[in-house]
Structure 1
């Protein structure tokens, strides 16, 4: 049993991580400003007696430092989303970079042995080749992406200074139960499903060759928890968390058609679109964490369609 400090734990990914921590007997200090959090769910966790809730913001370093006292490990999930970072770069830098530094500096001061950081595959930009490897070129294109890469470098700085260890998980296209309908990676899913439930075919811009590496939030949460226990000798690295499969928008549409169970064909809107592709090389995840995905896209999307109100 250990005491885990988790920022942003009341959000989408955190709501899947915390039950796993409780299941294995950990105590949790949940630090969240509840901008997107679920207060009813937090109340349920607090009622177990194993979760302490701190309603605060990572931008306030003193609050972070005080709340982390007595913890053994840190999971840093709190961030401003990629689309919001473009609308308000100042807020993105404030929360994503200043917030990262506050958390990582406090971890160094408190002698925290392991920091797990929610990084992002967006640090790669548009890749020239697939699959995308951790030691390949990076080209972050937005304040959010820049902040995620900066976070990895800050972790390396504090590790050299304090001797703690870190793992930066470069999440690919996360989806699953509990995700907001407006979330960056799920907007296309929700758009397609709404049309299909109305008996209308999904409309795809261009040829539908643009792709994502969709990874289920359950597998994302597993990677976070497994990172807490990874061998220190293999730590201090960024690790891709994806499936290794690039699912095109056209393939996604057909998967959702099958899941909803309607007899339609996708329609293609002939216009120029930027064709970007995503697929993770997950060799390092297997070697360092012993992790690999357990939920394929077809199973995950079918579950999402039948259990979630989209």
Structure 2
């Protein structure tokens, strides 16, 4: 592994900071390429001191900077993106960072002949699923600029595979949670809202019957999947990364009530709610990556609450 260096866009972010230590354990050097808009400078600084991590404080929108910084790298992980909420508020910035950024990174990786590129795609490429579990070959119906850019990213990877032999894996992450997460994502704000109420002795308030569901996957497992994708024998496919279990909002509330140790029952706020449900078909992850989740939602959420997130 002495000469294996991973070029890691967005490596200073929430998921990246869980992946980097795993890469170092496996003997990779890591070159983080991040504009540090949301990155954790202190945490990155500590990693840089170890000697096997470097930080390039730069933006994926600048193709020349990406090409230059990727020189000498054997592998690429591309996680830099604007979040789903922000993409609706500012579609221009979203297209700029997510679409132009995707293309800059993929084109540079193809030019430089890297061994493997791992792309953070998203379960949101499916839109509202017609059936559960959601399989990689199901019809895609991305609804926001963020989701559209993730789907386009997968298509662009196919283009550079055909044109230049680029070897890639696109990981369709489901609902990621875990220690160190910012509280801006919709579903993490649901978790925080519930927990804050519980800690104040108040019951969680749930819209409708709480039937909306998500496939919550712990960031530790997400990080493991990225390392497996970097090294898998099979490639050039999108792969769902989830647990395969749909946890309803009502179930989540009960898990959090138990974790906090509160003596309350959830309150249901009767109103019409668009019930969306999510659960990953996890068969391809097993077959292509040898990946299965190791942390259950109950254990992961309980640990998050008891250790202060």
Distance 1:160 1:45 in 2: 36
Q: Which stretches of structure 1, 4 residues or longer, exceed 3 Å deviation after superposition?
A: none
1:63 counterpart SS class: helix
How far the C-alpha of 1:113 sits from its partner, in A, is 1.5
How far the C-alpha of 1:288 sits from its partner, in A, is 0.4
Report if aligned partners of 1:8, 1:76 keep a CA contact under 8 Å in 2.
yes
Residue 143 of structure 2 is matched in structure 1 by 141
Report if aligned partners of 2:118, 2:226 keep a CA contact under 8 Å in 1.
yes
- How do residues 112-131 of structure 1 correspond to structure 2 at under 5 angstroms? 112-131=114-133
1:85 correspondence with 2:87: yes
Cα shift readout 1:170-215 (whole Å, capped 9, x = no counterpart): 0000000000122233010000000000000000000000000000
Give the number of equivalent residue pairs: 307
1:197 correspondence with 2:220: no
RMSD after superposition: 0.6
Report if aligned partners of 2:175, 2:216 keep a CA contact under 8 Å in 1.
yes
1:186 correspondence with 2:188: yes
TM norm structure 2: 0.99
Cα shift readout 1:122-143 (whole Å, capped 9, x = no counterpart): 0000011100000011100000
Provide structure 1 residue ranges, at least 5 long, that are not aligned to the other structure: none
TM norm structure 1: 0.98
Report if aligned partners of 1:82, 1:184 keep a CA contact under 8 Å in 2.
no
Provide structure 2 residue ranges, at least 5 long, that are not aligned to the other structure: none
Residue 239 of structure 1 is matched in structure 2 by 239
Residue 251 of structure 2 is matched in structure 1 by 251
Distance 2:27 2:292 in 1: 23
- How do residues 5-154 of structure 1 correspond to structure 2 at under 5 angstroms? 5-154=7-156
Report if aligned partners of 1:174, 1:185 keep a CA contact under 8 Å in 2.
no
Residue 217 of structure 2 is matched in structure 1 by 215
Cα shift readout 1:5-39 (whole Å, capped 9, x = no counterpart): 00000000001000100111110010000000010
Distance 2:89 2:51 in 1: 39
Residue 172 of structure 1 is matched in structure 2 by 174
